[in-house]
Chain A
Amino acid sequence: MKDYILRRLLYMVPTVLAISVMAFTIIRLPPGDYLTTVIAELSASGAPVDSGTIAALKDRYGLGDPAYLQYLKWISRILLHGDFGLSFEKNVPVNALIWDRLGATFGISILTLLFIWAFAFPIGIFSAVRKYSMGDYAVTFFGFLGLATPNFLLALMLMYVSVRYFGQSVGGLVSPDMIDAPWSGAKFVDLLAHIWLPVFVIGTSGMAALIRIMRANLLDELYRPYVVTARAKGMSEFSLLLRYPVRVALNPFLSTVGWMLPTLVSGEIIVSVVLSLPTTGPMLLRALLSQDMYLAGSIIMIASLMTVLGTLLSDILLAWVDPRIRYQ
């Protein structure tokens, strides 16, 4: 087990390096250098731009240096001081802005993952055991529909329905009058009343995929001789199902976290723009549109890093459950 974790951690080093390079590339992508943007913004705000400020900024971001030196300067600031640079639009450190939002993004993503599991598991089993029944066809139909409907489209449709027929808007994570209230039981209830919608919207496509996987896995097992034997020996249908075929079918099911997490984080980011949730989505979009690149690049980098980390954790969990993976 220790070897496995060590190997996985080693594997992660190039991935993390590649993510940081990618984020830095995105920061540098917009044409023109950011100092010009800053100076333009400073002078637009009416403040006189003195050459000392410019020189300090130049030095801080290593402007005029070759790209790799800029990268080194940028990454060492992050590693040594936890300094992600400045958000040019708001003129505050990126650090002060992003952590709450990233927390919310990952909170919602993980909640969605749990929601998907809680529902995909029984529905998948049902749909395999009652193969070609009306229920199975209904599940398959809604599954395909869920796969084909983009998250944000579903969010918009649900918003339309709730505005049109229930006369209330459903955006946000808490009601508008609760946003600044301190945490209390009432606020928590209010949060629960709002959070199910993004969780449901983000979860649909992943759930559809997972139901299909569970159904296919279980169908492979259901007609094996060992099942027939157990049935012939008089085992009750329900405990037979849960004790043997479901356990075998469960493993591929668990290993889906690996590709699920990136998809969920992606989905969360675009859905939160539509539902105006206080997560990374709207902030990233605004940062990109106003070319506030340090903010945007940091969000992309940390969201990717956290996703990779989450995948790592789930892999370790899986190896702990399944010895075959450990000894591969």
Chain B
Amino acid sequence: MSVTVEEYVEPPLVLAGQWMLFWLKFRRHRVAVAGGVIILLLYVIAAFAEFLAPLPPDLPNTRYTYAPPQALHLFADGGFAPHVLGYKVQVDPVAMRRVFVEDPGNRFPVRFFAEGPAYELWGLIPLRTHLIGVDKPGQPLFLLGADRLGRDLLSRVLYATRISLSIGLVGVTISLSLGVLLGGLSGYFGGTIDTVIQRVIEFVRSVPTIPLWMGMAAAIPTAWPPLRTYFIITVIISLIGWTSLAREVRGKFLVLRNEDFITAARLDGLSDLAIIYTHMVPSFLSHIIAAVTLAIPGMILAETALSFLGIGLQPPIVSWGVLLQESQNIRAVASAPWLLFAPGAAVVTSVLALNFLGDGLRDAADPYV
């Protein structure tokens, strides 16, 4: 909306349409609004990952394997001059291994809109500008630390956001189509169709999902191109995730089927499809949006779990689960905890924000709360 808060006049509630009412109610739910803002930000990150990341996700740097996160110093010499400090390598006499310590004598300025490694935004527009970067290639900039090949973890987490969040969206789209189709059939026609579909849903829900996902995902040949693996994993996840959406849709259909305005439409000779699309769908669309928002976290968590186990997405692709795979070894985590906490925080933040957003949407969609 282009109106600012000052000139915004509350519309009379009597005249407000259903979406206006929805919005007014949603806005009161502060936590949900905050969740919505975070989700929006995360999707912006997903869209502009190449620009936001200081380095390409797969650029190794053997000098800085397992380098710890650098602190971003904002001021130097009494003025605003963001910079990071270089590393000094020392040998820990007790554990007998290399440790990196900050080197105050070695200062690297951090520039905004810096020229860095070339990339293609969305695979189309060739660019060199990154949001932040250092002056010369090879200077260290590891705000979230580096992994076992000296790749920048911040860049990897940013790129992984794209994969993990898009799996959530694509997966939920497939689940939604299945759920609306089967739940709709079930609720609208009732009778035998309903019984059969309900039995199928009960069956899917009664089986533990993780072993089932594992069984299907493990059959994917490792030689397959990454994109195909990505889609198959998404399909596998959504094949099991559709049931809650189907139940939601069926419940709404059952309630609406006996409403007076539906009966009136039917008596007027409207076809089944026309009734569904012009009368039923608009009246439960807001509920579906809420249910969809609440279904996305499950998809993200499923992908993360599978990739973590090593049978989901495979390394050339970076998703949060793939990043977490590196922390399977607890000894690696003990010496480089950022490998666990950076992608872990990304997962928890996004799931938490989606849950809050979904809760708020559901409350806003329910006229009786």
Contacts and interface: CB of A to CB of B under 8 A. Distances in A.
Kindly name the residue among B218, B297, B310, B351 whose own CB sees the greatest number of chain A CB atoms within 10 A. Answer: B218
A31 B309 CA distance: 21
A326 B203 CA distance: 21
A202 B48 CA distance: 36
A15 B206 CA distance: 9
A233 to B, nearest CB: 31
A108 to B, nearest CB: 13
B212 A296 contact: no
A34 interface: no
A156 B327 contact: yes
27 contacts: A11-B199, A15-B199, A15-B202, A18-B203, A22-B207, A26-B212, A29-B215, A30-B218, A149-B348, A153-B340, A153-B347, A153-B348, A156-B327, A156-B344, A159-B330, A163-B333, A169-B330, A265-B208, A269-B211, A270-B210, A274-B328, A285-B309, A300-B215, A304-B206, A304-B208, A304-B211, A308-B207
Nearest to A171: B330
B214 A285 contact: yes
A262 B330 contact: no
Interface of B: 199, 202-203, 205-212, 214-216, 218-219, 221, 297, 301, 304-305, 308-311, 324, 327-328, 330, 333-334, 337, 340-341, 344, 347-348, 351-352, 355-356
B351 A297 contact: no
Nearest to B31: A144
Contacts of B356: 144
A112 interface: no
Most buried by A among B208, B218, B328: B208
A289 interface: yes
A30 B199 contact: no
Interface string A231-256: 00000000000000000000000000
Contact of A22 (B212, B297, B304, B308): B212
A303 B328 CA distance: 24
B340 A160 contact: yes
Query: Which 3 A-B pairs have CB atoms at the shortest separation, nearest pair first?
Result: A29-B219, A288-B218, A266-B210
B218 A289 contact: yes
B221 A307 contact: no
Contacts of A160: 330, 333-334, 337, 340
B211 A303 contact: yes
A288 B351 CA distance: 28
A150 interface: yes
B216 A26 contact: yes
A31 B308 CA distance: 23
A299 interface: yes
Contacts of A11: 199
Contacts of A163: 330, 333-334
Given A150-B347, A160-B334, A29 B216 contact: yes
A153 B208 contact: no
